[in-house]
């Protein structure tokens, strides 16, 4: 099938007039949405082909989020970075071809009328960079893109599995909000270092990701981080985290 997105005018209408339309979200009114998008010019069919992924709809989001990162990224790996930053693509998919998934993932928010979260899940409401990791679909693709490890032919999603094993939503926002974590080499270097700590029996918390980011933010003032390889980043984070957390020598990575 062809990937569909919505026009700029349609995106603006949905964003601006959300209050007038919100009951249709609450009620999961497919008929209303189908009629709305039938109007000429609202939907644009791209030339990009893709296979609709079989998404995981487990009641436990800690299970489904991890599996859906892999499913969405596999299905849409051929998107360019430029295409994957477009609100009208992700908002369009959330309203069109992935609407059932959106209703599933926002079940609690729709039932409680949590308009703030419904808006940030369906539209870009947090600035262009942060929104990529808050939007209900965009974050799945982007976490997949940032954690996919081509060097591991046996399981290129091994870092994805680690990153998504708990606190997916919070980790995504905290970890990827920094500009330098737009570079997959840096992301993978950090994750490989933190994963080694976990393999040493250390309980990984959000602070480990925060401290790694803070350290690179400081280091970035003295060197060009984008020039570093994954291994170089990994070694730098190894040394910093061991020192910062006072890890005993027998636990060093």
Contact (CB, 8 A) for 55 and 15 = no
61 belongs to a structural domain: yes
Q: What pLDDT does 252 receive?
A: 45
Q: What pLDDT does 247 receive?
A: 85
Contact (CB, 8 A) for 4 and 45 = yes
Task: Quick: pLDDT tens for 17-35.
Answer: 999 999 999 999 999 999 9
Q: Report the alpha-carbon distance of residue 177 to residue 181 in Å, rounded.
A: 7
Q: Please give the average per-residue pLDDT across 2-12, as a whole number.
A: 97
174 belongs to a structural domain: no
Kindly report the CA angle at 167 between 164 and 168, in degrees rounded to 5? 45
- What range does the domain containing 71 cover? 2-141
Total domains in the chain come to 1
Backbone angles phi, psi at 87, to 5 degrees: -60, -40
Q: Please give the average per-residue pLDDT across 39-68, as a whole number.
A: 96
151 belongs to a structural domain: no
178 belongs to a structural domain: no
121 belongs to a structural domain: yes
Percent of the chain with pLDDT over 70: 97
Is the pLDDT assigned to residue 253 strictly greater than 90? Answer: no
204 belongs to a structural domain: no
First to last CA, the chain: 47
158 belongs to a structural domain: no
Task: Quick: pLDDT tens for 73-131.
Answer: 999 999 999 999 999 999 999 999 999 999 999 999 999 999 999 999 999 999 889 99
Q: What pLDDT does 181 receive?
A: 72
217 belongs to a structural domain: no
């Amino acid at each position: 099938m062809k990937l569909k997105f919505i026009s700029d005018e349609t995106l603006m209408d949905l964003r601006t007039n959300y209050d007038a339309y919100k009951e249709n979200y609450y009620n999961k009114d497919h008929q209303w949405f189908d009629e709305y998008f039938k109007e000429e010019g609202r939907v644009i069919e791209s030339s990009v082909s893709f296979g609709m992924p079989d998404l995981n709809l487990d009641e436990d989001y800690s299970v489904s989020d991890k599996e859906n990162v892999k499913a969405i990224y596999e299905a849409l790996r051929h998107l360019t970075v430029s295409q994957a930053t477009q609100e009208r693509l992700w908002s369009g998919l959330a309203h069109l071809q992935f609407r059932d998934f959106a209703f599933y993932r926002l079940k609690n928010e729709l039932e409680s009328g949590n308009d703030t979260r419904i808006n940030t899940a369906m539209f870009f409401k947090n600035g262009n960079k942060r929104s990529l990791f808050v939007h209900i679909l965009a974050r799945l693709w982007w976490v997949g893109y940032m954690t996919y490890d081509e060097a591991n032919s046996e399981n290129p999603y091994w870092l994805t599995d680690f990153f998504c094993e708990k606190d997916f939503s919070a980790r995504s926002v905290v970890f990827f909000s920094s500009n330098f974590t737009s570079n997959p080499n840096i992301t993978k270097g950090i994750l490989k270092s933190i994963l080694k700590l976990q393999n040493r029996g250390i309980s990984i918390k959000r602070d480990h990701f925060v401290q790694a980011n803070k350290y690179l933010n400081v280091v970035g003032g003295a060197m060009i981080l984008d020039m570093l390889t994954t291994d170089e980043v990994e070694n730098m984070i190894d040394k910093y985290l061991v020192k910062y957390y006072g890890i005993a020598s027998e636990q060093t990575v």
